[in-house]
Amino acid sequence: MILRCLVLLFVSISKEEMLRPCEKLDYTHLATEAEMYKNNILDFLKQPHVRGEYEAMYDCLLSKLLGKASSNRRGSTRRIVSGRNTSITAVPWQVSLREKTYPICGGSVITDIWLLTAAHCLLRAKASELSVRLGSSWKTHGGEMYDVKECSVHPRYVSKTKTNDVGLIRLYSPLRFSARVLPIRLVARGERLPANEPAIVSGWGKLKEGGPSATYLQSSTIKTIAMKLCRRSGLDRKAIDPTSMFCAGSFSQSTPDACQGDSGGPITDKGVLIGVVSWGLGCARGNFPGVYTRLANPVIWDWVHSKISNKSDIYS
Q: Site residues (CB under 6 A) for ligand NAG? A: 85, 215-216, 306-307, 310, 312-313, 316
120 is a catalytic site residue: yes
> Of 96, 112, 120, 244, which residue is the catalytic one?
120
**Are 239 and 225 in contact, with CB atoms under 8 Å apart?**
no
Region of 287 on the Ramachandran plot (φ > 0 left; ψ -120 to 50 alpha; else beta): left
Residue nearer to ligand NAG on the CB measure, 14 or 215? 215
* Strand ranges (E), 19-174: 84-85, 94-99, 102-109, 114-117, 130-134, 144-153, 167-171
> Of 131, 178, 263, 278, which residue is the catalytic one?
263
> Of 112, 165, 241, 262, which residue is the catalytic one?
165
> How many whole angstroms separate alpha carbon 272 and alpha carbon 55?
8
Residue nearer to ligand NAG on the CB measure, 150 or 191? 150
State the alpha helices, DSSP H only, in the chain: 2-23, 28-36, 41-46, 48-66, 227-231, 298-308, 311-314
**Are 50 and 30 in contact, with CB atoms under 8 Å apart?**
yes
Residue nearer to ligand NAG on the CB measure, 147 or 302? 302
Residue nearer to ligand NAG on the CB measure, 14 or 306? 306
263 is a catalytic site residue: yes
What is the rounded (10 degree) CA torsion for 303, 304, 309, 313?
80
> How many whole angstroms separate alpha carbon 225 and alpha carbon 267?
13
Instruction: Provide, rounded to whole angstroms, the least separation between the CB of residue 134 and ligand NAG.
Output: 19
Residue nearer to ligand NAG on the CB measure, 102 or 315? 315
Instruction: Provide, rounded to whole angstroms, the least separation between the CB of residue 142 and ligand NAG.
Output: 12
141 is a catalytic site residue: no
> How many whole angstroms separate alpha carbon 179 and alpha carbon 31?
6
**Are 213 and 124 in contact, with CB atoms under 8 Å apart?**
no
Nearest CA to 202 out of 54, 123, 87 is that of 87
Instruction: Provide, rounded to whole angstroms, the least separation between the CB of residue 68 and ligand NAG.
Output: 16
> How many whole angstroms separate alpha carbon 247 and alpha carbon 280?
9
Residue nearer to ligand NAG on the CB measure, 128 or 310? 310
Task: Identify the burial level of 313 via C-beta atoms within 10 angstroms of its C-beta, where 0-12 means exposed, 13-18 middle and 19 or more buried.
Answer: middle
Instruction: Provide, rounded to whole angstroms, the least separation between the CB of residue 2 and ligand NAG.
Output: 50
Which 3 state secondary structure label does DSSP give 75? coil
Instruction: Provide, rounded to whole angstroms, the least separation between the CB of residue 220 and ligand NAG.
Output: 13
Instruction: Provide, rounded to whole angstroms, the least separation between the CB of residue 213 and ligand NAG.
Output: 12
By annotation, the residues acting in catalysis are 120, 165, 263
